[in-house]
Amino acid sequence: MITIIKYTFKEMLKKRAFLLVSILSLLYLSIYAFGLSRIFEHPSNSIYDIIFQSQILSAGLFFANFIVAFLVLLTSVNAISGEIESGTIYSILSKPIKRYELVLGKFIGLGAMIVIYSSIMFLSVVGLNIFMGSKITFEASNILRGLFFFDLGPIVFLALIIASSSIFSTVNTGIISIMAYGIALVGGVLEQIGAAMQQSQVGAFGLKSGESLINAGILTSLILPTDVIYRKMTAELLTQSSGISFMTQGPFGGMSQPSIYMFIYIFFYVVFLLYYGAKRFSQRDL
Amino acid sequence: MVLETQNLTKQFNGKGGFKEVTLSVEKGQVFGFLGPNGAGKSTFVKTMVGLLHPTSGFAWILGKPIGTVESREKVGFLPENFRYHDWMTGKELLSFHAELYKIKNPGKKIDELLELVKLKGHESKLIKNYSKGMQQRIGIVIALLNDPEIVFLDEPTSALDPVGRIEVREIIKQLKSQGKTVFLNSHLLSEVEMVCDEVAIINHGRIIAEGKLEELLKEHTHVEMIVSDYTSELIEEISRLSKEFQFKEGKLSFKVEDKEKIPIIAKMIIEAGAKLYQLNTQTSSLEDLFINLIGKDEVS
């Protein structure tokens, strides 16, 4: 399995998609840095400034997260299916290795690269905010916890892609992954709106509609929990040890936080996907 | 036995593949697996190396049931539709496959094999810049990396020029001399005839002939004789001992299933007081045998 991990990692570095996303990321970070430099040009100490700055940070992380998801999809969609479609798999699986080793090896190899890339993106966005003079005080523990959840989302998405790629064709995996990611994103937005409606308490009608939107969001999180992890990340990053929360980040932030049960679900979600993908792949005729 | 199957069947939704194949291949043999396109040759090999799951039956490689990791430990395989990771260089590709076999310090072995297939000096090039013939050659290197006990070569010369084909033939002979077993899938009958000890012919997924090549060919020896002073009883007796018998004005033409019948018939002629002027024998080529068997199978 170590061989598969090593060569998957190498392959990803050599892929054109990786180069493309890297250029795109640099471009994004440059534009974001330019934007921040203008925003932080005239500092003030008003509370509105802090709220505004938390929104800017959250927007930066939201789009960085989006670019990471883009990279995960581009580099992993054909991880297994591409090997089958091209025929390179014949010379690999006729060797004395088990099929699950290929699935897990691909997952770990791609996962390692994605964690490195995702961490660079996260630390760059947060670092740029600190460097430009953000009023939000970041503690190391906030940053570390935020980083953990920022990296966890793409890993969960990767598990879905790898499982799908082990069972279906590249095209079908692409469709399944994009649809699942889109549903999770829309569901997440609906859940936020629901939570906002409940908080503003716009009468009994508002409360009921809010609740159904939250439920819809929870349901979509079960399909792909990337959005829920993203919201946990913003909460961890922006809730200070003093108890002060800067979680008022507009459309890119989180009004409602996922429960511990959701994280237990996420753990089993990843394990099940990898187990099921490897099992189905082992039963496949190649 | 290096390879053994018992009623092995692989079908796709009840169609295609191969049915109830019972074979055994001894150590050190070059075994030819012949058949027309779509007969089930590649499906059989892919089943043996664990890429396809059999529908029913049993098979073992070196005593280990197929589909297990252990059964693939001493196996080399060159697929028919060979494709390799084209983002790697030749050397990287070979190191990757050596690592999959868990070979420690494969450098010397890689160099030897590159020399053998005449790819030395090309190992730093990317696979995507290799010609198809070069890719097939590096495929042969991959198949031999682990010093296998049995090598499955599925159409190993399909992308090679005549010189390359001769070289592959030499490699097969060399493997045989080292006591290795070679399972050769091919529809190039002349190639098989030159290197194989034993063959099996498959058509529509079923084995229609199997055995030592010389035995199979011996069964189809064509004989021509010119005789005089014969009696009708003698001619009748000869016709009973042979197949496809033809007789016209002292000229006999027939086939015998066993070459040993030829001196018996000659003796009969002499003892009957007839004169034997000419005796020509011609053993069928594998191509004749193949066409004959496939043709008969199609009719039946």
CB A226 within 8 A of CB A66: no
Do B135 and B241 belong together in one domain?
no
CB A81 within 8 A of CB A170: yes
Closest approach of chain A CAs to the CA of B13, in angstroms?
12
Q: Kindly determine whether residue B97 and residue A95, on different chains, have CB atoms separated by under 8 Å.
A: yes
pLDDT of residue B216: 79
Q: What is the dihedral of CA B50, B169, B117, A98, to 10 degrees?
A: 10
Q: Per 3-state DSSP, what percentage of chain A is helix, strand, and coil (rounded to 5)?
A: 80, 0, 20
Q: Which of B216, B232, B248 is the last residue of a domain?
A: B216
pLDDT of residue B174: 87
Structural domain contains residue B136: yes
Which of A5-14, A131-140, B18-27, B165-174 is the most confident on average? B18-27
Closest to A76 in 3D by CA, of A128, A191, A134, A154 = A154
Asked whether residue A29 carries a pLDDT value surpassing 90, the answer given is yes
Closest approach of chain B CAs to the CA of A206, in angstroms?
56
Closest approach of chain A CAs to the CA of B56, in angstroms?
14
Q: What is the ipTM of this complex?
A: 0.82
pLDDT of residue B15: 86
Q: Kindly determine whether residue A97 and residue B69, on different chains, have CB atoms separated by under 8 Å.
A: yes
- Site from B72, B83, B127 to mutate, A interface, most A CB atoms within 10 angstroms: B83
Structural domain contains residue B294: no
**pLDDT per residue as tens digits for the range A164-174:** 999 999 999 99
How far is A194 from A255, CA to CA, in rounded Å? 9
CB A252 within 8 A of CB A61: yes
Closest approach of chain B CAs to the CA of A78, in angstroms?
13
Asked whether residue A205 carries a pLDDT value surpassing 70, the answer given is no
Give contacts of B69 with chain A, Cβ < 8 Å.
96-98
Asked whether residue A207 carries a pLDDT value surpassing 70, the answer given is no
Nearest to B77 among A88, A94, A98 (CB): A94
Do B25 and B165 belong together in one domain?
yes
Q: Is B73 helix (H, G, I), strand (E, B) or coil?
A: coil
Average pLDDT, integer, range B21-35: 93
Assigned token pair, A162: 């790898």
Nearest to A91 among B12, B52, B97 (CB): B97
Task: Place A251 in a pLDDT band, splitting at 50, 70 and 90.
Answer: low
Domain containing residue B269: CATH number: 3.30.70
Task: Place A33 in a pLDDT band, splitting at 50, 70 and 90.
Answer: very high
Q: Which of B175, B200, B216 is the last residue of a domain?
A: B216
Nearest to B50 among A15, A91, A93 (CB): A93
Closest approach of chain A CAs to the CA of B46, in angstroms?
8
A-to-B residue pairs, Cβ atoms closer than 8 angstroms: 65
A95 close to B (CB below 8 A): yes
Assigned token pair, A218: 């929870």
A16 close to B (CB below 8 A): no
Do B123 and B268 belong together in one domain?
no
Among A60-64, A202-206, B174-178, whose mean pLDDT is lowest?
A202-206
Do B277 and B199 belong together in one domain?
no
pLDDT of residue B124: 92
Do B143 and B269 belong together in one domain?
no
Q: Kindly determine whether residue B77 and residue A88, on different chains, have CB atoms separated by under 8 Å.
A: no
Among A35-49, A264-278, B21-35, whose mean pLDDT is lowest?
A35-49
Number of domains in chain B: 2
pLDDT of residue A40: 79
Nearest to A94 among B72, B84, B96 (CB): B72
Structural domain contains residue B289: no
Closest approach of chain B CAs to the CA of A99, in angstroms?
10
Q: Which of B185, B216, B247 is the last residue of a domain?
A: B216
> Which 3-state string (H, E, C) describes B247-283?
EECCEEEEEECCCCHHHHHHHHHHHCCCEEEEEEEEE
Percent of chain B residues topping a pLDDT of 70: 98
Structural domain contains residue B88: yes
**pLDDT per residue as tens digits for the range B54-85:** 999 999 999 999 999 999 999 999 998 888 99
Closest approach of chain A CAs to the CA of B188, in angstroms?
23
Structural domain contains residue B299: no
Which of A79-93, A124-138, A255-269, B283-297 is the most confident on average? A79-93
Q: Kindly determine whether residue B96 and residue A3, on different chains, have CB atoms separated by under 8 Å.
A: yes
**pLDDT per residue as tens digits for the range A69-93:** 998 998 899 999 999 999 999 999 9
Do B100 and B240 belong together in one domain?
no
Q: List all residues 6 or more positions away from B38 whose beta carbon is below 8 Å from its beta carbon.
A: B16
Do B160 and B249 belong together in one domain?
no
Task: Place A244 in a pLDDT band, splitting at 50, 70 and 90.
Answer: low
pLDDT of residue A255: 55
How far is A69 from A182, CA to CA, in rounded Å? 11
Do B157 and B275 belong together in one domain?
no
Percent of chain A residues topping a pLDDT of 90: 49
How far is A64 from A122, CA to CA, in rounded Å? 7
State which residue of chain B sits closest to A12, comparing Cα positions.
B87
Domain containing residue B31: CATH number: 3.40.50.300
State which residue of chain B sits closest to A85, comparing Cα positions.
B83
Asked whether residue B135 carries a pLDDT value surpassing 80, the answer given is yes
Q: Kindly determine whether residue B96 and residue A7, on different chains, have CB atoms separated by under 8 Å.
A: yes
How far is A174 from A79, CA to CA, in rounded Å? 11
Range of the domain at B130: 3-216
Asked whether residue A133 carries a pLDDT value surpassing 80, the answer given is no
Nearest to B142 among A86, A91, A96 (CB): A91
Query: For tokens 């001894």, what's the residue?
Result: B26
> For strand B198-203 and strand B30-34, is the pairing parallel, antiparallel, or unpaired?
parallel
What does DSSP assign to residue B30? Answer: E
Average pLDDT, integer, range A53-64: 87
Average pLDDT, integer, range A45-65: 81
Structural domain contains residue B290: no
A123 close to B (CB below 8 A): no
Query: Which CA distances in Å does A206 have to A152, A200, A214, A219?
Result: 33, 8, 12, 20
